[in-house]
């Protein structure tokens, strides 16, 4: 399967714990995006990488959130000291260039107890 | 004002019906436009890009009106498998990210 893959598919954790998600984009895509989606809403942009450079961050991305793409391939999204409001689907997408359609992974569903 | 606004529906239509969804966007500098489809608890999947001249892909037709900042999707001869949420998506040039509408939920009834 050469699509975008995300791991884990589901994560349940207690409030205050740290969580880390991984995204492997389509191999020839140099742009990688993270989104958050809550029930009844469309995905909301969190951050964007072009190769290993993080070029843009949404105001939604508080200082508890950090994303990396160290070698310009896979990316990780870490949430520290999780809060109940962090419960959402976290989607990763990739594209070959900026205005091209983005292809999404299956997402990681995070539930905070 | 939201970047992208859609009627959330739901739209419940019988099999074989024609249904149209509309979407408006606020930024006149928006450069590219898409419709995505999202099934329940699944990721969004690209349905089609929307071109200025309008475009068709089988039973699906997309239209763009830049003057009115308006995008539409027409589905003809609805199938049960068309039941999903349809997301209107706009790329604001230079921002390198997509703005999604909240989605329009469609249920096709046998």
DSSP letter string over A37-50? E-TTS--EEEEEEE
Is the pLDDT at B60 greater than 70? The verdict is yes
Q: Give the pLDDT confidence score for residue B2 in this predicted structure.
A: 82
Render pLDDT for A27-57 as a digit per residue (tens, 0 to 9).
989 999 999 999 989 999 999 999 999 988 8
The answer to whether residue A62 scores a pLDDT higher than 90 is no
Phi, psi at B21, each rounded to 5°: -115, 145
Q: Check residue B81 and give its pLDDT.
A: 97
pLDDT in tens, A102-111: 899 999 999 9
Q: What is the mean pLDDT of residues B29-42?
A: 91
pLDDT band (50, 70, 90) for residue B35: very high
- Provide the phi-psi class of B16: left if phi over 0, else alpha when psi is between -120 and 50, else beta: left
Task: Report d(CA A43, CA A45) in Å as an integer.
Answer: 7
Average model confidence (pLDDT) across chain B: 92
Does residue B8 or residue A19 have the better pLDDT?
A19
**Cis, peptide link before residue A112, omega less than 30° from 0:** no
pLDDT at A98: 65
The pLDDT of residue A28: 87
Measure in Å the smallest separation between the Cα of A15 and chain B Cα atoms.
Answer: 23
Q: How far apart are CA B50 and CA B32, in angstroms?
A: 7
- Are A99 and B93 inside 8 Å of each other by CB? yes
The two tokens of residue B69 are 């900042």
Yes or no: say if B35 and B47 are a contact pair by the CB < 8 Å rule.
yes
Q: Check CB contact of B17 with chain A, cutoff 8 Å.
A: no
Q: Is B50 near chain A, with CB under 8 Å? A: no
Q: What is the pLDDT of residue A52?
A: 93
Size of interface A-B (CB pairs under 8 A): 51
Residue B65 has pLDDT above 60, yes or no: yes
Q: How many CB atoms lie within 10 A of CB A94?
A: 24
């Amino acid at each position: 399967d050469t699509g975008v893959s995300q791991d884990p598919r589901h994560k349940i954790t207690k409030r205050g714990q740290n969580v880390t998600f991984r995204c492997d984009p389509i191999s020839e895509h140099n742009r990688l995006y993270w989104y958050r989606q809550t029930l009844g809403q469309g995905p909301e942009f969190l951050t964007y990488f072009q190769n290993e450079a993080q070029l843009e961050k949404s105001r939604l991305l508080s200082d508890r959130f950090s994303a990396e793409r160290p070698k310009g391939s896979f990316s990780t999204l870490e949430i520290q000291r999780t809060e109940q409001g962090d419960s959402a689907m976290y989607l990763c997408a990739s594209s070959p260039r900026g205005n091209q359609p983005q292809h999404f992974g299956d997402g990681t569903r995070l539930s905070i107890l | 004002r939201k970047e992208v606004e859609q009627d959330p529906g739901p739209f419940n239509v019988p099999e074989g019906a024609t249904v149209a969804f509309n979407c408006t966007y606020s930024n006149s500098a928006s450069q590219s436009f898409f419709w995505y489809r999202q099934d329940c608890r699944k990721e969004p999947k690209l349905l089609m890009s929307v071109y200025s001249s309008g475009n068709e892909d089988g039973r699906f037709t997309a239209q763009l009106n830049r003057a009115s900042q308006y995008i539409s999707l027409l589905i003809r001869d609805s199938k049960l498998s068309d039941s999903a949420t349809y997301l209107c998506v706009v790329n604001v040039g230079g921002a390198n990210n997509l703005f999604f509408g909240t989605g329009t939920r469609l249920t096709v009834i046998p």
